[in-house]
Amino acid sequence: MNLKDSLLVLLAIAALVVLVCILLFWCFKRMGFGSIGLLYALIGLFGILAFAYGARDVVLGWQSLHWLRTDGVIQSAQMIHQRNAGSGGAYGASVSYEYQVSGRSYAGTRIYYGDYFNGNAEHARSLLARYRPDTKMAVFYDPDKPGRAVLETGVHGGVWLGLSIGTLFLVVAAFGLSKGRTKAGVAN
């Protein structure tokens, strides 16, 4: 896809988002909510998306405990540091590896489900110490989708982040919408 096509896709997505927001605003006005209702609905939508992403990672983490094992080779491993204004930034380990399943080569980058960037550089260093380039490693792959693989199976701590953020946003949205509807119902 070239730059012109990418810009057209982004413009179409932006137009769709604006149209959906206008439609939601109209629906919320008809149901007795004000503009703040739309804000709470958008917070709720973000909460649903974050919760779904976190739930997906939890499920895949649990499923990975039963995935098949094959041999792989670490291709590259490096520390990634994302600088943030006002903080030390976030650190992560970027690892790529290759493995084969039924004679077909695959490439992977996921260490485990829940391996997100965080403020702990030491954690990233400990991962990099385990996964040095040109090292042979066990790779665990999904037998139904061999292109999906991890170096470590199971559910790890970071996987709960999406669920936690999603739940928080859903609670805020539910509370805000219930209060907004109650006030709108009392005014009628």
pLDDT tens per residue across span 145-187: 999 999 999 988 777 888 888 899 989 988 887 776 545 444 4
Spatial contact of 119 and 87, defined as CB atoms under 8 Å apart: yes
- Greater confidence (87 vs 178) lies with 178
Instruction: Give the pLDDT score at 93.
Output: 86
Confidence of residue 119 (pLDDT cuts 50, 70, 90): low
Instruction: Give the pLDDT score at 158.
Output: 77
User: Tell me, what DSSP letter sits at residue 18?
Assistant: H
Instruction: Give the pLDDT score at 188.
Output: 44
Q: What is the mean pLDDT of residues 125-129?
A: 87
> pLDDT at residue 76 above 80?
yes
Q: What is the mean pLDDT of residues 88-116?
A: 90
The strand ranges marked E within 43-127 are 68-82, 90-101, 104-108
- Chain segment 33-57, per-residue pLDDT in tens: 666 777 888 888 888 888 888 888 8
d(CA 73, CA 154): 21
Contacting residues for 33 by C-beta, under 8 A, at least 6 apart: 177, 180, 181, 184
CA 51 to chain centre: 9
Instruction: Give the pLDDT score at 146.
Output: 97
Confidence of residue 126 (pLDDT cuts 50, 70, 90): confident
136-164 burial string, b = 16+ CB within 10 Å, else e?
ebebbbbeeebebbbbbbebbebbebbbe
